[in-house]
Each structure stands twice: as structure tokens, then as C-alpha cells.
A and B are shown apart, each in its own frame.
Chain A
């Protein structure tokens, strides 16, 4: 019994290693390794060349035409950036014309001795920006008049405030999942359509190797490509000051790559060529990109975002990359593992039903 199991394992390993060697060689000769390395190079350049912080000039330019320039004096007294003030109407007009996006605020006394403000903007301002501006000007007037500041609400922090993340490092989780989620999905489809076009899949059908070895060898190639790519991007991030949980980040990346490759492989089985796949495939790619927007703007996190495969992997990567002591959150880990299992099952069923049968 043990001997039979050992023989079976040896045979499976021989078959798998033969297929892996072929797929790896094809990935090299098809230029997939080169594409991955080129994109890795671009991402590394972004990490290295993007600034840690973007310093912006004041976007509001104030012209204080009130008697005694109370706003100007209040700002000066409170140590504010005085570049925000224009000396006269001419300077204001010149600076507004030069900026394009700046907002001009002209303060005058009204008929009853109060302050009136005229806004000069190139476009309509959103209500939220107007409200913020109003609050800022109100605070400035309070300081100028020597009145107490508006009531402040007490703020209690439940956890220590997180360290601000440098801009050039902030994008790294997206850069990492981009390769697995986008390139992996696309490149594995190219691989399968090449085999269909060359007819080699027909030869494979007439061999004893089955769906598991077929899906497994391709997945391993793409996981290794992802890990190689990830290692380069993570190394660049580390050089630029990040202190990631390396094992956690790479394992998450490998899981993401395996899940998306298997999903892409299963999906490609239902199409005969790249042109038939293109629009449905593009739709899925766009769907898989949505979590990137949620990551950039966390306010955009509708409930269904959790149902997109790349979402838990992106959030896990973020957690591991920026927090070396992170323990995986069950609300992210379980969906990630569930996606991996579901997409593996989908790939195996699809390969068996659609690739290993003629005319299916």
C-alpha cells in the first residue's frame, strides 16, 4: 500500500515537473517573464521617484480690503502662511490667472460694518469646499475680533494614531496586487489560447495527464512570476523606508496570484480565442480593479466590494506591508482562502469539461 502511494507520488511529481518545465520555458520564450520584469522595473521607478509627500502652495489667495486689514493681521499673529495674501487687486488677478485652480477671496466691509466676502473661482465649488472655507474664514474673523474660538468637540482616540504613510510607499500594495490580479489573469488566458491555436491541447487530451497537473503547473509558473515581481517591488519599498512583514506579504501575494491565475484559467476555457475572450475578460479585469479605487479612497467601500476577489488580498497585503507585527484579520483571511478554494474548483471543473474534451 505504502509502496503504491510512493509510486503514485513519484509519478505525479515526474509528470508535474515535466509540465512545469515546459510552462516555465514557454513563459520565458513567449516573453511573459520579460513583460513581468519590465512592469516590475516601472513600479520600482515609481516607488523610488515619487516623493514621500506632495507639498502644495496655498490654494486660496486672500485680498483683505477691510479697514486696518484685520484678516491679514490675524493670520500674521497666528503664524499662518502669509503667501496666501495678495497685496492688491492686480496681484490677486495675476496670481489667479497664473494658477488656474486657485480661489480668490476678497474681503470687504459691508454697509453695516461687518465683513463681506467675494469668491473668485474658475469653476463652481462643491458645497463641502464652500462650508470648509466658510468655517476657516469665520475662525479667522473670530481671531481678528478677539472673540473665543468656536466650540470644539472632544476627540478620544481608541488606538494610537497610525503613522502617516509616505506617498511613494502608499501605492505598493496596489502595485503588488496589480501583477497578480491583472497581468496573471490576462497572461494565463494568452497561454491557453496559444495552446488552443497550436492544437497542442489536443495532444494533451490524448495523454494520461489530467486537469490537476494542467492547472497546477501553470499556476505555479504564474505564482513564481508574481513572487519574483513582488520581491523586487518590496525590496524597493524597503530601501525607501518601509518595514514590511515579508513572509506575510509574499504569502498573500502568492495566494492572490494562485487565485486569480486559476480564475483566469477557468474563465479562458470557455472561449476559443483571445478576440472572443476580450470584452468579457476586460469586464472582469475592470471589476477586479475596483478595490484599487476603494484603497485610494476608503470612503468608497460599498458592501459588495468584499465580493470582488482582489479586495481581501489587497487589504491583507496592505496590512502585512505596513505593519510588521500584523496578524491576519479573519474578515480578510477567510474570504481570501474561500476565493482561492472556489477559483481552484472552478478551474479544475472548467479544464476537465471544456479543455480535455473534444468539441466541448
Chain B
């Protein structure tokens, strides 16, 4: 279990916190979606959680052990996928993975099998510098999996990918979760977060403004509504009604009794709408 408490980080030491009082827990085997716009402090939190940034205030514990006491062996069980592809351009995809595999003491994945999984088998021997952005992103993702990590930090793993490749990556993320991997997913893609995360936290200006499962958040912050289409004098009319309001509940019942309803859908607030409602900002 990962426990983060009252995390604060000030880059310039002038009392201006990029991360201010962030606390959360991540259960083993869960996917924790960390959502927020650019500059919200997501990367700072990830940097602190991976020990790449020095801890200033607060605590980060992995299974009860403070990150301050974990040496570099901590990374034996951790995989990190970066938002901006960072690869040796003059090494092939296969060479990049082989080199990285050599840094770990435990068993590692077969580099070629990983390349196959992310759809890069045919490009395995091509230099990474010649890859497209999407291919580089997939290679970085594959590199994060090379050491069979127990904890994965994924920063915008589907950014720049075409829909079918993004689906492939999301499938692999869910597969790792099924294998018991704990995943910290940083993204501003609300749909990905909604689909993949067990818990999401909204980060704005260095503070968590809401946290819970996507369903909980939608129930808490979204209004319950239904969208229906009914036939009126030969034409289709669309309406949004709120069943918790007595007058709207009565209308829905009346329409059902009349048998004029053609389509009926429950309406949930999206995570993006909730974020905008809470912060007044978009995620872009």
C-alpha cells in the first residue's frame, strides 16, 4: 500500500508551493488516476513519489517504509513511463529495451515479446530516432514494463496515440492491474481515467479538490438526469428530466403510460464536467 500524507513542495524555497498538502492512499493492485491541467502539480507529485525529487514536507510510505529510507533498489520493482518519449535515438527499439533490462537484478520480460505486445515487433531493429511519436510512446511504455514492476507510474500513456493503439495500451494497463500491479496514472484524459481508475483525484493549483471512485464522484457532484426522445405529432422531441424532482418524475411516468417514449438514457455528469464545476478550469 502507498500512503501519501500532507505532501508539500516548494521549488524556489520562497513559500510558494507547487504541491500543497496532498494526501491519499493507494491500495495494492489498484489504479489511482491523478487528474489535473498542466501546471497543477501532477509531475511534482510523481517526482516526489519516485524519489527523484527530494522530499521537503510530508511523508510517502511504501508498505509502511518511508521513501526517504528506500535506496535505489526501490526502483527494482518500479516502472516509470514518461509523457515525453526519452529514448536513445541512435539505438534500436530492441537495443533500448535490452540495455534497460540489464540495469535490473530480478527477472525481466523478454524485450522482443514486449515489443510484440505494443505492436513494435516489425520495427524492433529500427533506430528509435526514426520512430513516429506514437511508436516512441509505445516503446517508452514497454520499457516501463521490462522489469515486471509491482508499481507502475504512467504519465499520459495514451498521449499522441491513435484510437486503436490507445485501446491496446489501455488493455495492457488493465492486464497489469489484473496481475496485481499498483498503478499511478497521471493524465488529463478524463475518459481514460474514468475507464481505468479505481480511484481518481482532481489536482488543481497543487491541491486535491476532490477524490473518490469515478462513480462516487459522479454521484456526489453530478445531477441525476435522464435524456429521452418521444414522438409528438409525428416528430421526435428531445427532453432532459431530473427524476429526483417530483414534477419531472410525474412526467416520466406519464410518458411511459402514454407509450410515446422512443429512447431513454440515464445521464451522468462526466469527470470533466465535475472538474470544471469544482475548479472553474478545463483540463486542457
B180 close to chain A: CB less than 8 A: no
CA distance A359 to B13 in the complex (A): 13
Q: Please name all residues of chain A whose beta carbon is closer than 8 Å to the beta carbon of B103 when the two chains form the complex.
A: 15, 18-19, 204, 207-209
Which residue of chain A has the shortest Cβ distance to B43 in the bound complex? A358
Q: Looking at the complex, which of A22-30, A33-41, A69-77 is the stretch in contact with chain B?
A: A22-30
B89 close to chain A: CB less than 8 A: yes
Known: A22-B91, A199-B82, A359-B11. A207 touches B100 (CB 8 A): yes
14 contacts between A and B (CB under 8 A): A18-B98, A18-B102, A19-B103, A26-B90, A26-B91, A29-B91, A30-B90, A198-B89, A200-B86, A202-B52, A203-B140, A204-B103, A359-B11, A359-B47
Question: Is the pair B53, A358 in contact by a Cβ cutoff of 8 Å?
Answer: yes
Q: Please name all residues of chain B whose beta carbon is closer than 8 Å to the beta carbon of A17 when the two chains form the complex.
A: 102
Question: Is the pair A22, B52 in contact by a Cβ cutoff of 8 Å?
Answer: no
Supplied contacts A30-B90, A198-B89, A358-B47, 6 more A-B pairs, CB within 8 Å: A15-B103, A18-B98, A19-B99, A22-B91, A206-B80, A210-B72
Known: A15-B102, A207-B104. A358 touches B89 (CB 8 A): no
Cross-chain pair count, CB within 8 angstroms:
84
Question: Is the pair B73, A208 in contact by a Cβ cutoff of 8 Å?
Answer: yes
Tell me how many residues of B have a C-beta within 8 Å of chain A.
34
Please pick, from A29, A199, A208, the residue contacting B75 in the complex, using a CB distance under 8 A: A208
Question: Is the pair A205, B99 in contact by a Cβ cutoff of 8 Å?
Answer: no
Q: Please name all residues of chain B whose beta carbon is closer than 8 Å to the beta carbon of A22 when the two chains form the complex.
A: 88, 91, 95, 99
* CB neighbors of A among B70-109 (8 A): 72-76, 78, 80, 82, 84-91, 95, 98-105
Q: Please name all residues of chain A whose beta carbon is closer than 8 Å to the beta carbon of B50 when the two chains form the complex.
A: 206
CA distance A27 to B255 in the complex (A): 76
Q: Please name all residues of chain A whose beta carbon is closer than 8 Å to the beta carbon of B90 when the two chains form the complex.
A: 26, 29-30
B42 close to chain A: CB less than 8 A: no
Which residue of chain A has the shortest Cβ distance to B76 in the bound complex? A208
B54 close to chain A: CB less than 8 A: yes
Distance from A284 Cβ to chain B, minimum over Cβ atoms (Å)? 27
A: contact size bracket: 20 to 34
Q: Please name all residues of chain A whose beta carbon is closer than 8 Å to the beta carbon of B153 when the two chains form the complex.
A: 206
Distance from A79 Cβ to chain B, minimum over Cβ atoms (Å)? 67
Residues of A that sit less than 8 Å from B by CB? 11, 14-15, 17-19, 21-22, 25-26, 29-30, 198-200, 202-210, 357-359
B143 close to chain A: CB less than 8 A: yes
Q: Please name all residues of chain A whose beta carbon is closer than 8 Å to the beta carbon of B143 when the two chains form the complex.
A: 203
CA distance A30 to B153 in the complex (A): 31
Which residue of chain B has the shortest Cβ distance to A206 in the bound complex? B80
Chain A interface SS verdict (over half): helix
Known: A19-B103, A200-B86. A209 touches B72 (CB 8 A): yes
Question: Is the pair B52, A200 in contact by a Cβ cutoff of 8 Å?
Answer: no
Question: Is the pair B53, A198 in contact by a Cβ cutoff of 8 Å?
Answer: no
Which residue of chain A has the shortest Cβ distance to B128 in the bound complex? A198
Q: Please name all residues of chain B whose beta carbon is closer than 8 Å to the beta carbon of A207 when the two chains form the complex.
A: 72, 75, 100, 103-104
For the complex of A and B, 8 pairs with smallest distance between CB atoms: A18-B102, A199-B86, A206-B80, A358-B52, A29-B90, A22-B99, A208-B75, A207-B103
CA distance A204 to B78 in the complex (A): 12
CA distance A14 to B72 in the complex (A): 16
Q: Please name all residues of chain B whose beta carbon is closer than 8 Å to the beta carbon of A198 when the two chains form the complex.
A: 86-89
Question: Is the pair A208, B53 in contact by a Cβ cutoff of 8 Å?
Answer: no
Q: Please name all residues of chain A whose beta carbon is closer than 8 Å to the beta carbon of B140 when the two chains form the complex.
A: 203
Distance from B16 Cβ to chain A, minimum over Cβ atoms (Å)? 15
Question: Is the pair A208, B86 in contact by a Cβ cutoff of 8 Å?
Answer: no
* CB neighbors of A among B122-169 (8 A): 140, 143, 153
Q: Please name all residues of chain B whose beta carbon is closer than 8 Å to the beta carbon of A200 when the two chains form the complex.
A: 86-88
Distance from A199 Cβ to chain B, minimum over Cβ atoms (Å)? 3
Which residue of chain A has the shortest Cβ distance to B73 in the bound complex? A208
Distance from B9 Cβ to chain A, minimum over Cβ atoms (Å)? 10
Distance from A254 Cβ to chain B, minimum over Cβ atoms (Å)? 25
Distance from A325 Cβ to chain B, minimum over Cβ atoms (Å)? 45
Question: Is the pair A208, B87 in contact by a Cβ cutoff of 8 Å?
Answer: no
